[in-house]
Structure formats: C-alpha cells, structure tokens
C-alpha cells in the first residue's frame, strides 16, 4: 500500500514513518511544511503548506491512503489576532482542501488525526456523545470532522477519524515535558490531594492504532477514541513518572480549590484545569470493531518517554 503522511516531522509523524520504514510495511511518502529542515531519510517527500490554496496533486500521485497529522496545534500562548480564524485557516480549510484533492485523485482512505477536545474539556466520552468543543482548537477540529464526513458521503473515499487525548512520548512538549522536568529535578508538586482521572495515550500505542486504521477494513467511515486503556489521576501519573526515572515522587497535598484559585490569579487557569480536572475516553468501540488493544502498558510507555532524561 502507498501511504502519504502529512505532518511527518511532528511527534506522531516521525514515529509513524520510522515504524513503517523499519517494518517495510508500506511504501511511504511524506509531506512537511516548507520551512522545515531535511526530509526524513529513506522516504520520498514533498514540501507543502496546509492551507486552502495548496496544490497537493504531486504528493498524491499513486497514493492509496493519506494519514493526515499536520495541523495547527493547541497553542498555550496564542499571539494570533483572531485565533479561531487562524485555526480554521489551517485545520479546516487546509484539511478539506487536501481531502477533496485526495478524493479526486482516487485515494481510497483518509485517516484524520483529531482530538478529544471536539467533545469538550471534562467528562467521560464515547464516540457517539455530543461534540461541544470549548476552545478555538477544538472548534476547528470539530468543523474539519464535519467537512470530512460530507466528503466521504459525496465520494468513494473512506474517512477514518481518530480522536486522541494527551499524547506523551520521548519528544512530547508543553505540560508533559514540564512535568517530567519537575519530577527529574525533585521539585515538590502540590497535587497530592487531587482526585481526578485522565486518559492518556503513549506514542507507540497511538502509532499502532493509526496503522490499524490504515489497514483494517472495518475502520472505514468510522470515528474512534484511542488511549492506553488505563486512566490515571495526576498524583498517579507523577508517581509513575518518578518510578520510571528512579526518582522520589514529591507530592504535597494542597486543596484543588486553592490551586485553581492561585492559577487563575496568574493567568494559568486552563493549565490548572488540565492538571486538576477529569477527561476520559472509552475505547470499547476500537476494541470490539477493530480487535485493537493497546500493545504497550502505561508504565512501559512512560519508561520509554523518559529514557535518557535521568
């Protein structure tokens, strides 16, 4: 099978391409943004920006499947004058432009990496639950999903949507990297009294599930949640990270209400909500329809994520 991977230099794209090349699993072509550096070794590739005007035909020639990972991701300190419009320009208009050209070019399947944020910021979700995104990133991913469903209904191209929670791995950034650094340095963390639950997905599990969605016939025109299959509280995550790095878990029991209030005062309310609140996904559909189970445990995934950082 011939597979085009967009966003091939990102966290997930790099690992996905490396696995397909290592296993000689599919003929891989990659697409990366024009300003990025060298193309990944041992694969053909093109440079293309994700917007409504990009001509994707040179990249799509002969492709059977597109795995669409490129996106404007969630930005903690967004400096765009109109963040929602900027997210829409890339994640909606850019994605649908690519998908329409893929359908016209007789691509058989379009695998789209979406997010749990299309459903919201808290709760426990299954695929059929209402989608009520709360921020610009989530709205843009939701609108892209709607557009892709229309394209699938109007053409012969199959669409598969993967909704992922927080992804962690060796090159993960933002909150996960900050947490790893704090644990490695032995910094006391004020989350000992937090009693929440959150779904996470390790990089290797997400790559494995993405390949399942590329290959499995029953994935056609379906949406799936993916996670490690074990939800963790924030204190649990810190303890397991500490164990993976052979460090002590220094947890201080501060009431969550106090933490949220302090975070609000310094403009970090959204960060605090992610650390204090619950957000879980149900992967029953993936297990039953695709026969997929996470191949890597949470503890092993965390060990791989922090390898070399101790």
Return the SS3 of 308. coil
Phi, psi of 194 (to 5 degrees): -80, 135
Name beta bridge partners: 6.
31, 68
Is 228 within 8 Å of 202 (Cβ atoms)? yes
Is 67 within 8 Å of 210 (Cβ atoms)? yes
pLDDT tens for each residue of 77-99: 555 668 899 999 999 999 999 99
Return the SS3 of 72. coil
- Using the Cα atoms of residue 117, residue 118, residue 122 and residue 125 in order, give the sign of their dihedral: negative
Phi, psi of 48 (to 5 degrees): -155, 140
Which of 51-55, 100-104, 128-132, 237-241 has the lowest average pLDDT?
Answer: 51-55
pLDDT tens for each residue of 212-221: 999 999 999 9
Q: How far apart are CA 261 and CA 49, in angstroms?
A: 41
Given a cut of 80, whether residue 274 has pLDDT beyond it is no
The pLDDT score that the predictor gives to residue 254 is: 93
The pLDDT score that the predictor gives to residue 78 is: 54
Does the domain at residues 2-164 carry the CATH identifier 3.40.50.720?
yes
Given a cut of 90, whether residue 150 has pLDDT beyond it is yes
The pLDDT score that the predictor gives to residue 225 is: 98
Which of 80-84, 112-116, 130-134, 162-166 has the lowest average pLDDT?
Answer: 80-84
Would you place residue 41 in the very low, low, confident or very high pLDDT band (cuts 50, 70, 90)?
low
- Rounded to an integer, the average pLDDT of 12-40 is 84
Given a cut of 80, whether residue 148 has pLDDT beyond it is yes
Closest CA to 183 of 121, 108, 127, 247: 247
Is 192 within 8 Å of 253 (Cβ atoms)? yes
Kindly provide the residue ranges of all beta strands, DSSP E only, lying in 107-164, ordered along the sequence: 109-115, 123-125, 158-164
Q: How far apart are CA 77 and CA 1, in angstroms?
A: 40
Catalytic site residues?
Answer: 137
The pLDDT score that the predictor gives to residue 43 is: 79
The pLDDT score that the predictor gives to residue 275 is: 80
Q: Which residues contact 56 (CB under 8 A, 6 or more apart)?
A: 31, 48, 97, 98, 101, 102, 105
pLDDT tens for each residue of 219-252: 999 999 999 999 999 999 999 999 999 999 999 9
Q: What is the CA radius of gyration of the chain?
A: 19
Which of 60-74, 99-113, 137-151, 219-233 has the lowest average pLDDT?
Answer: 60-74
Is 184 within 8 Å of 245 (Cβ atoms)? yes
Locate the domains of the chain by residue range: 2-164, 174-196+232-276
The pLDDT score that the predictor gives to residue 243 is: 95
What mean pLDDT is reported for the chain?
Answer: 91
Residues 79-89 as b or e (16 or more Cβ within 10 Å = b): eeeebbebbbb
- Rounded to an integer, the average pLDDT of 100-116 is 96
- Rounded to an integer, the average pLDDT of 302-308 is 89
Q: Give the percent of the chain with pLDDT over 90.
A: 75
Closest CA to 275 of 191, 193, 186: 191
Is 3 within 8 Å of 20 (Cβ atoms)? yes
Which of 152-156, 231-235, 271-275 has the lowest average pLDDT?
Answer: 271-275
Would you place residue 38 in the very low, low, confident or very high pLDDT band (cuts 50, 70, 90)?
low
Given a cut of 80, whether residue 264 has pLDDT beyond it is yes
Output the CA–CA distances (angstroms, integers) from residue 254 to 76, 195, 241, in the order listed.
Answer: 24, 11, 20
Q: How far apart are CA 286 and CA 292, in angstroms?
A: 6
Q: How far apart are CA 201 and CA 214, in angstroms?
A: 18
- Rounded to an integer, the average pLDDT of 275-303 is 96
The pLDDT score that the predictor gives to residue 81 is: 63
Residues found in the chain: 310
């Amino acid at each position: 099978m011939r597979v085009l991977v967009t966003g091939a230099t990102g966290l997930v794209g790099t690992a996905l391409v490396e696995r397909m090349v290592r296993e000689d699993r599919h003929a891989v072509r990659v697409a990366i943004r024009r300003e990025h550096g060298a193309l990944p070794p041992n694969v053909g590739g093109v440079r293309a920006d994700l917007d409504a005007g990009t001509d994707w035909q040179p990249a799509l020639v002969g492709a059977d499947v597109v795995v669409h990972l490129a996106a404007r991701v969630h930005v903690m300190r967004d400096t765009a004058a109109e963040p929602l419009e900027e997210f829409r320009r890339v994640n909606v208009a850019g994605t649908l432009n690519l998908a329409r050209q893929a359908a016209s070019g007789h691509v058989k399947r379009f695998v789209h990496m979406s997010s749990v944020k299309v459903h919201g910021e808290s709760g426990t979700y299954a695929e059929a639950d209402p989608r009520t995104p709360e921020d610009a990133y989530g709205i843009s991913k939701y609108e892209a999903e709607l557009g892709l469903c229309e394209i699938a209904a109007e053409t012969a191209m199959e669409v598969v949507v993967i909704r992922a929670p927080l992804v962690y791995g060796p090159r993960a950034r933002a909150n996960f990297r900050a947490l790893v650094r704090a644990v490695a340095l032995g910094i006391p963390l004020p989350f000992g009294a937090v009693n929440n639950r959150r779904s996470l997905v390790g990089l290797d599990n997400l790559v494995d599930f993405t390949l399942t969605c590329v290959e499995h016939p029953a994935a056609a025109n379906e949406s799936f949640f993916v996670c490690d299959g074990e939800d963790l509280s924030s204190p649990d995550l810190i303890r397991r990270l500490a164990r993976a790095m052979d460090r002590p878990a220094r947890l201080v029991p501060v009431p969550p209400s106090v933490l949220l209030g302090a975070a609000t005062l310094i403009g970090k309310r959204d960060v605090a909500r992610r650390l204090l609140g619950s957000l879980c996904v149900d992967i029953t559909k993936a297990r039953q329809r695709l026969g997929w189970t996470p191949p890597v445990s949470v503890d092993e995934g965390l060990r791989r994520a922090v390898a070399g950082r101790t």
